[in-house]
Structure 1
Amino acid sequence: MKKLLLSAAVAVFFLTNVNAQSDSGDFTLAPQVGLNLSNYTSSENLNNRIRTAFNFGVVGEYYLNDRWSLRSGLFYDSKGTKIKESGEEYIDKLNYLAVPIHANWHFGSKRNWFLNFGPTLGFLLSAKADTPEGEFDVKDELESSFDIGLGVGIGYKFNVSENTELFIQYQGYNGFIDLFGLDEFSVFNATSAFNVGVIFQP
């Protein structure tokens, strides 16, 4: 009896994993939420530290086959940094509408692992400086209200049912657009994010 139950459990697990693999022409939607660790990168020492914030949004994914897919979506994406000067803390809060345009490679024997990469577009929603004197709008101080950079992420999917999966993901981003247009040096957005979400196949 124990052998029969074990065999049945293995069969169910195998079939669930096989059915969870997506084929050519399949489309999935994945709402997600995550923790952002954002900062500025520069050739100069800015005396800055990581700003902790969040992101949320949804990804749509179109499968070319069981290994490759194209993904895009819309995200509320928090960026910025913390700066400490003369014992006082200043926080730049830059919030973007982010649009990734990524290829996604699904690997592993059950295609549960995935690696995405490609450009990510960012459209500035708000820019505020949190200072000891209060919070101020600094949108006009930015060189551009548009950002573009390289996004790279890796994640793992857990099968829940035939059409539903949970996932965890690490996503990195490095911007290419100089934020402030200073003559002396350039400043760019950089983000590391840890995300969780649910994948649905309509």
Structure 2
Amino acid sequence: MKTLTTLCLSLLFAATTFAQTEPGTFSLLPKVGLNLSSLTKSKFEVDTRTGFCGGLELNYQLNKSFSLTLGALYSLQGCKQTDKDHKTTVKIEYLNVPVLFNFHITNGLVAKVGVQPGLVLSDRIHQERKGVSGDMCFRDYVRSLPEYKNTNMRDYDIAIPIGLSYEFSNIVLDARYCPGLVSLFDHWDLTNKNYTFQFTVGYKFEL
């Protein structure tokens, strides 16, 4: 019983161990993870799809309670739609640049909020119908529809990331909700905006 108690206390101590970053110092966080992304409702209702995300974040520790983060993240977003005999998947690749204000709540636990501009790297749509499939540029597909022939897709996005992270032994687990502020297209009838749930794991290096 004594051995079991000692083991439990050791595990508890290990779970709450984290690397204290000194004020005025920088740290670098390579990270990889998973997106669950979709588009807000507009004329067309769509479902969530999964995608890869990964990149680097640079953190500056202002004091023991607050820090600032600047990142560069590749993010595969989009949505999917499935009917009885028709499956559509939209893949939009972004280079996102999160700028975050972090509040260090307690040992290892951090709340964060900020702004995230993003640049579209590519946009594709994949369609499958009755065993036949094909790919094309997403913006070209939208313009091929008669009612949207003069519609343009925006080459940028702006989101407001809100999240929590937990660090132990320099390993950082991070979860964020990133709702978009701007519509994908400039047409009044297509008001879909991005929204993404992002889950990542990274390792922090002190600089």
- Decide whether the 8 Å contact of 1:47 with 1:84 is kept in 2: no
Does residue 21 in structure 1 map to residue 31 in structure 2? no
Moved more, 182-191 or 167-176: 182-191
State the AA in 1 paired with 2:113: F
Deviations 1:133-157 (A, max 9, x none): 3111124555210110101110110
State the AA in 1 paired with 2:202: G
C-alpha separation between the residues in 1 aligned to 2:69 and 2:40? 27
Instruction: Give the 5 Å matches for 1:47-196.
Output: 47-108=45-106, 110=107, 112-132=108-128, 133-139=133-139, 142-159=152-169, 165-196=170-201
Q: Which runs of 5+ in 2 are unaligned?
A: 143-151
Larger strand fraction of residues: 1
Q: What is the RMSD of the two structures over their aligned residues, measured on CA atoms?
A: 2.3
Deviations 1:49-102 (A, max 9, x none): 111111010100001001100001111011100012453110110000000011
C-alpha separation between the residues in 1 aligned to 2:27 and 2:62? 12
C-alpha separation between the residues in 2 aligned to 1:17 and 1:56? 25
Q: Which runs of 5+ in 1 are unaligned?
A: 160-164
Give TM-score, length-normalised by structure 1: 0.83
State the AA in 2 paired with 1:171: R
Aligned-pair distance for 1:183?
2.3
- Decide whether the 8 Å contact of 1:169 with 1:194 is kept in 2: yes
Aligned-pair distance for 1:197?
0.7
**Moved >4 Å (runs of 4+):** 139-142
C-alpha separation between the residues in 2 aligned to 1:17 and 1:197? 16
Report % sequence identity.
30
- Decide whether the 8 Å contact of 1:24 with 1:65 is kept in 2: yes
Give the match's secondary structure for 2:57: strand
State the AA in 2 paired with 1:80: G
State the AA in 2 paired with 1:104: N
State the AA in 2 paired with 1:136: M
State the AA in 2 paired with 1:57: G
Aligned-pair distance for 1:188?
0.1
Please name the residue that 2:145 is paired with.
none
C-alpha separation between the residues in 1 aligned to 2:105 and 2:157? 30
State the AA in 2 paired with 1:148: I
- Decide whether the 8 Å contact of 2:43 with 2:189 is kept in 1: no
- Decide whether the 8 Å contact of 1:28 with 1:61 is kept in 2: yes
Please name the residue that 1:200 is paired with.
205
